[in-house]
Copies of this chain bind each other. A is one copy, B any other.
């Protein structure tokens, strides 16, 4: 079934059919009706590629993400998907767990015309590709990563770590440690600096032996394994435990809790924890954490992209989300908070 078929049946030209299908105003109601009726009867579906070729537009976006290795992305993707569905765009997903896979994808799969724009999540954009995107005028929006030449959506790690630390301080904790992800990751760096700075501002000593920088590199240290190993190793060293820990992600906190449990240590009785992200399962563990508005980030990323497509020469924007504190019971308060927390 093509527009030729419906043109023949409706006794009009293909141009008219196309106009009707695209809601052009310059068609008589009478002709329009005739065409619409036939189209419906023939159960006509436009051919996406033919449209794309003629329109020079695909109505689809591509999301390149460290695929499913982290619950964080799943929730951001949810925001992306729903926003896109609402405007009738399709979503192509490409997994790239490492920088190498990213480059591989960028090298091979970036066929022209396939997508109207791409969303890059949490992966560093290599400079040589930045140039390609610019040169080919291929819209790119970065989420949880940054490059001066493109729009980006980020989380304010500094402010988030500050709030988390101050919350711990406000509860009276004074010996506070930090279980961090790999220092090679920018968010890990920012969260650590801010933690130290905040402690300093409040005249509380930061003790180096209480700073655990993960050596497990899975997911840049943002993994359950990294949290588990970090804490297990710490306990093995036999140092006296601080009274609280700021942990760089929920998933690490979950691993850390497992390590603590094996040593018969309880949260929050023996040690308080405030972590980062508020992934969906954080509530199952009653984690007090800094919530990142993941769904909203996905939604905003799409909106930014749509704007960028509309107006390629608009000034580049970089917007920051500030995490908010979600209090559950891992710091010793609101033990039953989770009960009503089914969002």
Query: CB within 8 Å of B: which residues of A?
Result: 1, 43, 45-53, 58, 60, 67-68, 74-75, 77-78, 81-82, 85, 88, 90-95, 108-114, 132, 224-225, 254, 258, 262, 281, 284-285, 336, 338-339, 342
Q: Please state if A342 and B225 are interface contacts (CB–CB under 8 Å).
A: yes
Give chain B residues whose Cβ lies under 8 Å from the Cβ of A336. 262
Q: Please state if B93 and A81 are interface contacts (CB–CB under 8 Å).
A: yes
18 A-B contacts (beta carbon < 8 Å): A1-B112, A45-B110, A46-B112, A47-B53, A48-B111, A48-B114, A49-B49, A60-B92, A67-B81, A68-B77, A68-B81, A81-B93, A82-B95, A90-B92, A224-B284, A254-B284, A262-B339, A281-B284
Q: Please state if B114 and A90 are interface contacts (CB–CB under 8 Å).
A: yes
A53: which of B1, B53, B108 is its contact (CB, 8 Å)? B53
A52 CB → nearest B CB, Å:
4
Give chain B residues whose Cβ lies under 8 Å from the Cβ of A68. 74-75, 77-78, 81
Q: Please state if B85 and A48 are interface contacts (CB–CB under 8 Å).
A: no
Measured CA separation A81–B66 after assembly (Å)? 12
Q: Please state if A112 and B77 are interface contacts (CB–CB under 8 Å).
A: no
Q: Please state if B113 and A47 are interface contacts (CB–CB under 8 Å).
A: yes
Which of A132, A284, A336 has most B Cβ within 10 Å? A284
Give chain B residues whose Cβ lies under 8 Å from the Cβ of A132. 43
A95: which of B1, B81, B109, B112 is its contact (CB, 8 Å)? B81
Give chain B residues whose Cβ lies under 8 Å from the Cβ of A75. 68
Measured CA separation A31–B77 after assembly (Å)? 46
Q: Please state if B225 and A50 are interface contacts (CB–CB under 8 Å).
A: no
Measured CA separation A132–B1 after assembly (Å)? 14
Give chain B residues whose Cβ lies under 8 Å from the Cβ of A52. 49
Give chain B residues whose Cβ lies under 8 Å from the Cβ of A67. 78, 81
Measured CA separation A49–B224 after assembly (Å)? 42
A334 CB → nearest B CB, Å:
14
Measured CA separation A77–B63 after assembly (Å)? 15
Closest to A1 in B: B112
Known: A68-B77, A93-B93. 5 other contacts (CB 8 A): A46-B112, A47-B111, A49-B58, A85-B94, A92-B93
A198 CB → nearest B CB, Å:
30
